[in-house]
Amino acid sequence: RGAQENEPITETTDPSEGRFRSAEWYGGTDRNAYLHRAWMRRGLPNHAFDGRPHIAIANTASDLTPCNSHLDEVAEAVKQGVYEAGGIPLDLPVVSLGETLVRPTAMLWRNMAAMAMEEMFRANPIDGVVLLGGCDKTIPSLLMAAASVDLPAVVVPGGPMLNGHFRGVPLGCGTDVWKLSEEVRAGTLDEDLFLKSEQSMIRSKGHCNTMGTASTMAIMAEALGMTMPGIAGTPAPDSRLLVTAHETGVLAVDMVRADRRISEVITKQSFENAIVALAAIGGSTNAVVHLLAIAGRLGIDLTLDDFDRVGAGVPLLVNLQPSGRFLMEDLFRAGGVLAVLNQVSDLLDPAPITVTGAPLVDYVTNQPTWDEEVIFPRQEPLIEDAGIAVLRGNLAPLGAIIKPAAASPELMVHRGKAVVFDSIEDLHARIDDPDLDVDASSVLVLRGCGPKGYPGMPEVANMPLPKKLLEAGVRDMVRICDGRMSGTAYGTVVLHVAPEAAAGGLLAYVENGDTILLDVPGRRLELEVDAAELERRTVAPTTADGFASPSRGWERLYVDHVQQADTGVDLDFLLGGSGSKVSRESH
């Protein structure tokens, strides 16, 4: 039934409706309300403007973000749920960041995506938002944006791809690229075969199927209470993803009616639950900067030390690549995230609620584990103490991190001579040089890869090992970098060194042959060079190419305002939130 000329068009039909934000645009009989309604009448019926909840579906689908390219289908399922609950669903395409293609690193654009999304959530007549993400930076940027606007918000993770197989064994995306390419360099795998594995690796829609950053951040969203419980890790092609997406659409409308905002769902205790989950799943180190950044938007005092404190003693239970053997499809089959959380439920804070309004812990009790090779029992974990370790010392006064679950036990306390690279280009140019002065006990140092230095803090810290050492059978070495590491990578890699070299950190002054001490149990990272010698080195830090100094555009803004890794790499002026109020009209 379309609007008839003689019909009143702005009446609120349901007395319980009409108190929502969108009514500020559509309610009333003045010129502006006319304008807002008139332009939206391309299929929207009269009753769309009676004050019912309008739900944006913030969609990061893009052909250039292959991990998220199926999200239009997911959005369709969300839409049906929103309609069913009496709301109005609205497509809102937002900035999409694909990890594999975007240069120089998707991380350079995480804050830009979050800033653009935040402004669009606030500027538009919406009462709540469903956040569709997948590939690494998409869920973090969506959550950062939603936190700064503080509307009712709920995440639908797009889900991992199905297991690939090669040579009869599962092939994990990311992790096995690093492994197979090192095999080619070591001369143990033909390049032909290597190239053949390409198609088996990416077998279906969805994001990386290892416990990389995308899988980790989907689970972090669930542990923070921001998803329908049980959805994280549902494979992208699994029909149950669409079912839960539909239910999420219904829930989003309920959340608006209950005025359940993100600030009510996510508290300091939710972050502590997420940190427990992060250790138990052996999640990506990138979660550290993303969780810190989300906390910064909410004004929650989360620190690097909270990761060490809360993660201490949490066992690694999930046997997934890169720390273990299986892939995300196996985790889902074995009982999924809720089964994992059930195993560590005594470590969870019972207070934090989820988007449903019920506490997270309510959903984890009685969640069985179906395969104890994938989800290890609490009594016999893969590793007893899987929390991320925070290191400090003169090389990282603000902190650096290491993921013991991905590192070699025999390198946890190590003293070695530095082999220094000033940039990723310098590393690539020299790492395979047969004359490079390096042995298995050396400590590889890569600098100029922090937030300001690159700029954007790329995932380069898991430096390839020197070819001559690979050929000699060496498979791990201590590596130190002010950049990040892919969540799918592994090795004894010290990451996120703060302050970075480009911000004047001591990392900039390390010279070849200096002794470096890594002591993970003692939480120390020291450059063992005497003070007098260090005094002599007070020259301005430079690298082969000099640190980045962009002259204009986003990169200029980014370099001028980005914060260090220990606080989440957000821009200083984006901390906190501005709420959802917009006081002025556009016409």
For residue 401, give the 3-state DSSP assignment. Answer: strand
Instruction: Report in angstroms how near the CB of residue 286 gets to Mg ion at its nearest.
Output: 7
Instruction: Report in angstroms how near the CB of residue 71 gets to ligand FES at its nearest.
Output: 12
Q: How many CB atoms sit inside 10 A of residue 473's CB?
A: 8
The smaller minimum CB distance to ligand FES, of residues 113 and 529, is found at 113
The smaller minimum CB distance to ligand FES, of residues 159 and 324, is found at 159
Instruction: Report in angstroms how near the CB of residue 460 gets to ligand FES at its nearest.
Output: 16
**How many H-runs (helices) and E-runs (strands) does the chain carry?**
20, 14
The smaller minimum CB distance to ligand FES, of residues 69 and 564, is found at 69
Q: How far apart are CA 322 and CA 198, in angstroms?
A: 18
Q: How far apart are CA 412 and CA 390, in angstroms?
A: 13
Instruction: Report in angstroms how near the CB of residue 214 gets to ligand FES at its nearest.
Output: 3
- Please choose which of ligand FES, Mg ion, none residue 361 contacts, taking the beta carbon within 5 to 8 angstroms, the exact cut-off set by kind: none
DSSP 506: G
Enumerate residues 6+ apart whose C-beta is below 8 A from 120. Answer: 92, 94
Q: How far apart are CA 279 and CA 216, in angstroms?
A: 10
Identify which of 238, 179, 240 has the alpha carbon closest to the alpha carbon of residue 210. 179
Measured in residues, the chain has a length of 587
For residue 550, give the 3-state DSSP assignment. Answer: coil
Instruction: Report in angstroms how near the CB of residue 207 gets to ligand FES at its nearest.
Output: 3
The smaller minimum CB distance to ligand FES, of residues 12 and 100, is found at 100
- Please choose which of Mg ion, ligand FES, none residue 207 contacts, taking the beta carbon within 5 to 8 angstroms, the exact cut-off set by kind: ligand FES
What Å distances lie between residue 212 and 80, 131, 208, 253, 274, CA to CA? 31, 20, 7, 32, 16
- Element (H or E) spanning 75, and its range? helix 71-84
What Å distances lie between residue 9 and 24, 51, 87, CA to CA? 15, 12, 18
Instruction: Quote the tokens at residue 424.
Output: 């990723």
Identify which of 41, 40, 49 has the alpha carbon closest to the alpha carbon of residue 9. 49
Return the percent helix, strand and coil in the chain, to nearest 5: 40, 15, 45
Instruction: Report in angstroms how near the CB of residue 164 gets to ligand FES at its nearest.
Output: 13
Instruction: Report in angstroms how near the CB of residue 492 gets to ligand FES at its nearest.
Output: 23
Instruction: Report in angstroms how near the CB of residue 287 gets to ligand FES at its nearest.
Output: 13
What does 15-45 look like in DSSP terms, one character per residue? TT-S-STTHHHHSSSSHHHHHHHHHHTTT--
Residue type, 443: V
Identify which of 134, 143, 137, 132 has the alpha carbon closest to the alpha carbon of residue 77. 132
Instruction: Report in angstroms how near the CB of residue 291 gets to ligand FES at its nearest.
Output: 18
The smaller minimum CB distance to Mg ion, of residues 136 and 329, is found at 136
The smaller minimum CB distance to ligand FES, of residues 60 and 319, is found at 60
Is the previous residue joined to 93 through a cis bond, with omega within 30 degrees of 0? no
Instruction: Report in angstroms how near the CB of residue 212 gets to Mg ion at its nearest.
Output: 6
The smaller minimum CB distance to ligand FES, of residues 87 and 172, is found at 172
For residue 116, give the 3-state DSSP assignment. Answer: helix
Instruction: Quote the tokens at residue 378.
Output: 């609490």
Instruction: Report in angstroms how near the CB of residue 135 gets to ligand FES at its nearest.
Output: 3
- Please choose which of ligand FES, Mg ion, none residue 486 contacts, taking the beta carbon within 5 to 8 angstroms, the exact cut-off set by kind: Mg ion
The smaller minimum CB distance to Mg ion, of residues 69 and 285, is found at 285
- Please choose which of ligand FES, Mg ion, none residue 234 contacts, taking the beta carbon within 5 to 8 angstroms, the exact cut-off set by kind: none
- Please choose which of ligand FES, Mg ion, none residue 100 contacts, taking the beta carbon within 5 to 8 angstroms, the exact cut-off set by kind: ligand FES
Q: How far apart are CA 170 and CA 322, in angstroms?
A: 12
Identify which of 494, 480, 485, 496 has the alpha carbon closest to the alpha carbon of residue 568. 496
Residue 402: strand pairing partners:
389
**DSSP H stretches of helix in 85-229:** 107-123, 138-149, 175-186, 191-201, 213-223
Residues of this chain that bind Mg ion (CB under 5 A): 99, 136, 213, 486
Q: How far apart are CA 199 and CA 274, in angstroms?
A: 34
Instruction: Report in angstroms how near the CB of residue 61 gets to ligand FES at its nearest.
Output: 13
Residues of this chain that bind ligand FES (CB under 6 A): 67, 99-100, 135-136, 174, 207-208, 212, 214
The smaller minimum CB distance to ligand FES, of residues 136 and 566, is found at 136
Instruction: Report in angstroms how near the CB of residue 431 gets to ligand FES at its nearest.
Output: 24
Q: Are 115 and 573 in contact, with CB atoms under 8 Å apart?
A: no
The smaller minimum CB distance to Mg ion, of residues 292 and 344, is found at 292
The smaller minimum CB distance to ligand FES, of residues 97 and 418, is found at 97
The smaller minimum CB distance to Mg ion, of residues 141 and 356, is found at 141
The smaller minimum CB distance to Mg ion, of residues 216 and 369, is found at 216
